[in-house]
Amino acid sequence: MQNSVLSVRQLNLYVRSLIESDPRLCDVMVEGEISNFKNHYSSGHLYFTLKDSDANIRCVMFRGNAARLKFKPEDGLKVVLRGRVSIYEKDGQYQFYAEEMSVAGLGDIAFQFEQIKKRLSDEGLFDSESKRPLPKFPKRIAVVTSDTGAAVRDILNILARRWPLAEVIMCPVAVQGEFAVPQMLSTLDRIYSGCFADVIIIGRGGGSAEDLWAFNSEELARKIYESPIPVISAVGHETDFTICDFVADMRAPTPSAAAELAVPDMAEIEGILKGYSNSLKNALLSKYRLCDAKLSACLSSAFFKSPEDAIINKKFYELDRLCDSLENLVKIKLSDAEKRFFTAVSSLEGLSPLKVLKRGFAAVQKESGAVTSVKDAQIGDNLDLRFNDGNLKCEVLEKECF
């Protein structure tokens, strides 16, 4: 019997039916490294190649299965796939249809945690420079946690004991399960928009990694980073770390520790204020004693007992000083005048005609005045010759001109 002629599609469909009828290929687990990874966001399907050192196989994971993944696949990641083998009849290549995927050698949750942590750290969301200091004396504290757990009771008791002046604003939310992240995001939005708190405490008590997973949400971490007010993350116990712990302004090892970090201790503040009060009292007492001593000294002073005498004596003393100054000034003036007088006398003596007369000269005069030339005298004139020691009366008998 002659074989029937098949179309390519018919041949591929036949081979596909053979493969899919083999129970060993309907539920297969295979391990390898992801390469050529593509995420078609429009459809939600994942396409990639799974390879080892000797071979590779094309793989696809459809949207329904991909939505259940707890981590983001990427090139170079070693994974374990569970699924089936079949042929895509259009191109005739067989491929692996993955229904489940897990990280080889590492839990899915742990791997996703490290993925988110690295991504946010690279973006700078964990940098210490972005951390804000907590307010020293908060007036309002928003507590975002479950209203039924032990954590909220611990927080409220410690806040009431340490700092009863603060108003506690309870913001109850689910802290695990599918509604936890949406409720916390919505609550934080209301707190941010209302600005009715000075600090936020967000957290829960301890639990398994799955129980704490909501606090590893990348979306929640980014929302905390956007907070306009300081945030304290208090998730689990001392050994538990979540993504929220890294991005918050302060990480508390427990909810109780978060309450202690959020507020000061009233007893400690009262002790400090009492110390300030005692210091102020001592300073005022010391100032009072100093002023009292100054007042006593003033009251016992001679000026206070007899102010008139003190004023008069002071004026007399000032008058005596002025008299002494005036006397000294007059003496100086007289001395200067005496010196100028004797200098003038010496100058006048140098110009005095009497000194000339002492050297044998005489001053000649007649009734009309001084005779300074032969021409001023005539024969028969009576002349008066004045010498140093007396006068001579003479008559001109003869006149001779040179």
Q: Are residues 193 and 251 in the same domain?
A: yes
User: Residue 148: which of 137, 156, 138 has the closest Cα?
Assistant: 156
Distances from the Cα of 84 to the Cαs of 52, 94, 96, 397, in angstroms? 18, 11, 6, 182
The mean pLDDT of the chain is 87
Residue 16's identity, in one-letter code, is R
pLDDT of 255 reads 92
Burial degree of 220 (CB within 10 A; 0-12, 13-18, 19+): buried
pLDDT of 210 reads 80
- How far apart CA 108 and CA 146 sit, in angstroms, is 26
DSSP 251-284: E-SSHHHHHHHHS--HHHHHHHHHHHHHHHHHHH
Count of C-beta atoms within a 10 Å radius of residue 344 = 10
pLDDT of 356 reads 67
- Residue 211 belongs to some domain of the structure: yes
- Residue 89 belongs to some domain of the structure: yes
Of 62 and 351, the one with more pLDDT: 62
- How far apart CA 225 and CA 126 sit, in angstroms, is 9
Q: At residue 260, does pLDDT exceed 50?
A: yes
Among left, alpha and beta (phi > 0; psi -120 to 50; other), residue 307 is alpha
Residue 108's identity, in one-letter code, is D
pLDDT of 107 reads 60
pLDDT of 99 reads 93
Q: Hey, what are 164's tokens?
A: 């009863």
- Residue 241 belongs to some domain of the structure: yes
Q: Are residues 172 and 207 in the same domain?
A: yes
Most confident range, picked from 199-213, 308-322, 375-389: 199-213
- 28 and 83 Cβ atoms separated by less than 8 Å: yes
Q: Are residues 342 and 359 in the same domain?
A: no
- Residue 280 belongs to some domain of the structure: no
- Residue 120 belongs to some domain of the structure: no
Domain end position, chosen among 211, 233, 264: 264
* Composition of the chain by helix, strand, coil, percent to 5: 45, 25, 30
User: Residue 399: which of 363, 374, 362 has the closest Cα?
Assistant: 374
What SS3 state is found at 247?
helix
pLDDT of 1 reads 43
Of 223 and 296, the one with more pLDDT: 223
Q: What is the CATH number of the domain that holds 183?
A: 3.40.50.2300
Q: Hey, what are 45's tokens?
A: 């399907």
Q: Are residues 329 and 359 in the same domain?
A: no
Of 293 and 307, the one with more pLDDT: 293
The torsion defined by the Cα of 166, 171, 177 and 181, in degrees rounded to 10, comes to: -100
* For range 355-361, the mean pLDDT: 69
Contact partners, residue 213, CB within 8 Å, separation at least 6: 109, 176
User: Of the ranges 3-7, 30-34, 174-178, which one carries the lowest mean pLDDT score?
Assistant: 3-7
pLDDT of 239 reads 73
* For range 246-257, the mean pLDDT: 94
Of 219 and 379, the one with more pLDDT: 219
- How far apart CA 331 and CA 336 sit, in angstroms, is 8
User: Of the ranges 159-163, 213-217, 248-252, 338-342, which one carries the lowest mean pLDDT score?
Assistant: 338-342
Q: Are residues 335 and 359 in the same domain?
A: no
pLDDT of 2 reads 53
- Residue 117 belongs to some domain of the structure: no
- Residue 284 belongs to some domain of the structure: no
- How far apart CA 116 and CA 246 sit, in angstroms, is 11
Most confident range, picked from 54-58, 138-142, 212-216, 386-390: 138-142
- How far apart CA 184 and CA 290 sit, in angstroms, is 63
* For range 292-319, the mean pLDDT: 79
How many domains in the chain?
4
* For range 230-253, the mean pLDDT: 90
Q: Are residues 259 and 337 in the same domain?
A: no
**Would you place residue 109 in the very low, low, confident or very high pLDDT band (cuts 50, 70, 90)?**
confident
**Would you place residue 268 in the very low, low, confident or very high pLDDT band (cuts 50, 70, 90)?**
very high
Q: What is the CATH number of the domain that holds 68?
A: 2.40.50.140
Helix (H) or strand (E) run with residue 19 in it: helix 8-21
- How far apart CA 20 and CA 95 sit, in angstroms, is 12
- Residue 377 belongs to some domain of the structure: yes
Place of tokens 């001084």: 370
| Domain range enclosing 183 | 127-264
Q: Are residues 135 and 234 in the same domain?
A: yes
Q: Are residues 77 and 182 in the same domain?
A: no
pLDDT of 350 reads 66
Q: Are residues 190 and 139 in the same domain?
A: yes
Q: Are residues 133 and 225 in the same domain?
A: yes
Q: Are residues 340 and 365 in the same domain?
A: no
User: Of the ranges 46-55, 246-255, 290-299, 344-353, which one carries the lowest mean pLDDT score?
Assistant: 344-353
Count of C-beta atoms within a 10 Å radius of residue 85 = 19
Q: Are residues 335 and 363 in the same domain?
A: no
